[in-house]
């Protein structure tokens, strides 16, 4: 049924629509580079769906990337303004004179998952067994596990187990097929194993706590060039506010997750719930100062375990890694 508006009313509607379009057009465009099928897309979709970018004074342009390494190349070359990476990468860049900054995005980290029929109840039970490890020999979770194992058992995890480094999806397949008794995998892959009936032996949260590091440690965050962010401070802070608003929606609304369900590609309802709750558990709660203090402690452990190949020549966390909204 059509509603006939008076000319004055129609003109007002047109003017309001034009004003909204003009306001959006005037907002600075922020190009955010993300892996095409990565979990970060869920939050960015919420920002766009609820028009949180316009509400916070910027226009979001999502730039899909094929590989993780492509993100670093893209932000270094100016193809994108913001990527998701870890504070350790930012720390190394700053220690070598390349001024990037980090704003916490998620504290969701991996877990050590084992088969329930593998006879593994403690870390010591892994002795002599093969263990799948995602991310390579310099992966943060693996290095933290090595330090934790040495503290708990007196043996470096690299000597306690036979590490098998492989891509995360392959590790999940090998565990599910019984070809590996367990794997240290990234959070969303660990969530899938959890939904499939595998057992969580250790979370990174537990490892951090065992090493005396505050568990409120966001390992990944929004990363950008400091000089660019300083020149676009209002837009950057608006982006971080929109990110926080999107997280609030995702933390509180099950209906929002139902809307996102098709893009999550969950194999079944149990996996969907595991991914939803894993994401929610990873939402940072503490402030920047607390996160930075935790990162300093974690840096000491990671620098000791990974050496110069991981952190370069910097013995301590470079100053200025963590971006402070509105007061840098």
Q: Where are the domains of the chain?
A: 26-107+216-311, 111-210
Q: Is the pLDDT of residue 328 over 70?
A: no
Alpha-carbon torsion (306, 310, 313, 319), positive or negative: negative
* Averaged pLDDT for residues 105-125: 95
Q: What is the pLDDT of residue 243?
A: 98
Q: CB–CB of 105/157 below 8 Å?
A: no
pLDDT in tens, 47-68: 999 999 999 999 999 999 988 7
We find that the CATH architecture of domain 26-107+216-311 is: 3-Layer(aba) Sandwich (3.40)
| CATH fourth-level superfamily of 111-210 | Periplasmic binding protein-like II (3.40.190.10)
Same CATH topology for 26-107+216-311 and 111-210?
Answer: yes
Which of these ranges, 82-86, 255-259, 286-290, 316-320, has the smallest mean pLDDT?
286-290
pLDDT at 13 over 50: no
Q: 230-263 pLDDT, tens per residue?
A: 999 999 999 999 999 999 999 999 999 999 999 9
How many Cβ atoms from other residues are within 10 Å of residue 45's Cβ? 16
Please, what is the Cα angle at 247 between 187 and 58, to 5 degrees?
Answer: 120
pTM of the predicted model, to two decimals? 0.88
Give the model's confidence band at 10: pLDDT under 50 very low, under 70 low, under 90 confident, else very high: low
Q: Which residue has the tokens 């950057």?
A: 236
Largest CA distance in the chain: 82
- Residue 50, classified by CB atoms within 10 Å of its CB into exposed (0-12), middle (13-18) or buried (19+), is middle
Mean pLDDT of 168-186: 97
Q: What is the 3-state secondary structure (H, E, C) of 107-151?
A: CCCCEEEECCCCCCCCHHHHCCCEEEECCCCCCHHHHHHHHHHHH
């Amino acid at each position: 049924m059509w509603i006939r508006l008076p000319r004055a009313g129609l003109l007002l509607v047109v003017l309001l629509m034009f004003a909204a379009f003009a306001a959006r057009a005037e907002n600075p465009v922020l190009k955010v580079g993300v892996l095409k099928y990565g979990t970060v897309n869920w939050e960015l979709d919420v920002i766009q769906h609820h028009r949180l970018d316009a509400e916070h004074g910027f226009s979001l342009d999502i730039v899909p990337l094929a590989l993780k390494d492509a993100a670093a190349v893209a932000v270094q070359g100016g193809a994108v303004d913001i990527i998701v990476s870890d504070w350790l990468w930012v720390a190394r860049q700053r220690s070598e004179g390349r001024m990037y900054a980090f704003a916490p995005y998620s504290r969701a980290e991996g877990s050590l998952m084992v088969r329930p029929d593998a006879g593994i109840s403690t870390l010591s039970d892994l002795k002599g067994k093969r263990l799948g490890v995602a991310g390579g020999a310099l992966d943060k979770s693996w290095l933290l596990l090595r330090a934790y194992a040495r503290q708990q058992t007196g043996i470096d995890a690299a000597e306690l187990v036979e590490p098998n480094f492989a891509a995360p999806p392959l590790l999940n397949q090998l565990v599910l097929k019984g070809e590996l008794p367990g794997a240290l995998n990234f959070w969303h892959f660990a969530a899938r194993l959890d939904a499939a009936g595998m057992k969580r032996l250790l979370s990174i949260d537990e490892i951090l706590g065992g090493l005396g590091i505050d568990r409120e440690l966001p390992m990944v965050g929004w990363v950008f060039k400091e000089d660019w962010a300083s020149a676009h401070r209002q837009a950057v802070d608006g982006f971080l506010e929109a990110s926080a608003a999107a997280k609030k929606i995702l933390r509180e609304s099950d209906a929002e997750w139902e809307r996102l369900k098709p893009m999550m590609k969950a194999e079944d309802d149990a996996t969907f719930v595991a991914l939803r709750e894993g994401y929610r558990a990873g939402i940072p709660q503490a402030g920047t100062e607390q996160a930075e203090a935790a990162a300093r402690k974690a840096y000491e452990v990671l620098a000791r375990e990974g050496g110069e190949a991981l952190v370069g020549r910097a013995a301590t966390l470079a100053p200025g890694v963590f971006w402070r909204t509105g007061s840098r």
